[in-house]
Structure 1
Amino acid sequence: MDTYGGRRTQGERDAVTVEIGYALCSAAFAAAVLFEAVAGPAYLFGLPGRVRGALVGAGTVLAVAVFFVRVVSVLVRFGRGGQPSQPGRTSPDS
């Protein structure tokens, strides 16, 4: 990503901004889905207070963990260059 002198072009800066936004949005979606899958039944079935608290706590911990893992995995994959621009090709000039 670095060009001569360590400066990034506007296109590279835009790509980083878009990738960060994608990482945050996809991580928030994944965390919300996981939280609802774990904690949702506690509210849906009207479970007692302790059970509900345990499910909500577990859902929160898992959702936070999934959020950070997703953000890191997307940004690390982006930093390595990701995939070729066209399937089956090794470089854009092929």
Structure 2
Amino acid sequence: SSYGGRRTQGERDAMTVEIGYALFSAAFAAAVLFGAVVGPAYVFGLPAGVRSGLVGTGTVLAVVVFLVRVVSVLVRFGRGNQPSQPGRTRPDS
């Protein structure tokens, strides 16, 4: 594992779950942000130019939030901030 050996099945499963969590939570955050930025354009019937500007802005922000969320979750997982013993919140507790 961290010393160049092969990963155990548990470590591979944990990585798979973490990747799935990162993608799902990032997609959810991006969708919520996109809806918050673009939604008012359709609810209030704003002009087409303003609407297209908000759609563009919402798209860019959603992509940025998606990427930042995925990277932050996976980096945090890669650092191994896991408790050393089950039920413990800190390695020194």
Q: CA shift at 1:3, angstroms? A: 5.9
CA–CA distance in structure 1, aligned partners of residues 4 and 42 of structure 2: 56
- 2:33 is matched with 34
TM-score of the pair, normalised by structure 2: 0.89
Q: CA shift at 1:79, angstroms? A: 0.1
The runs of 5 or more residues in structure 1 that have no matched partner are none
State the SS of the aligned residue for 1:6: coil
Aligned residues: 90
Q: CA shift at 1:82, angstroms? A: 2.0
The runs of 5 or more residues in structure 2 that have no matched partner are none
- 2:91 is matched with 90
Q: CA shift at 1:61, angstroms? A: 0.2
Aligned structure 1 segments of 4 or more residues deviating by more than 4 angstroms: none
Distance change >3 Å, CA 6–CA 58, structure 1 → 2: same
Identity across matched positions, percent: 78
CA–CA distance in structure 2, aligned partners of residues 11 and 82 of structure 1: 16
CA–CA distance in structure 2, aligned partners of residues 78 and 69 of structure 1: 14
Q: CA shift at 1:90, angstroms? A: 1.0
CA–CA distance in structure 1, aligned partners of residues 47 and 73 of structure 2: 38
CA–CA distance in structure 2, aligned partners of residues 3 and 83 of structure 1: 14
TM-score of the pair, normalised by structure 1: 0.88
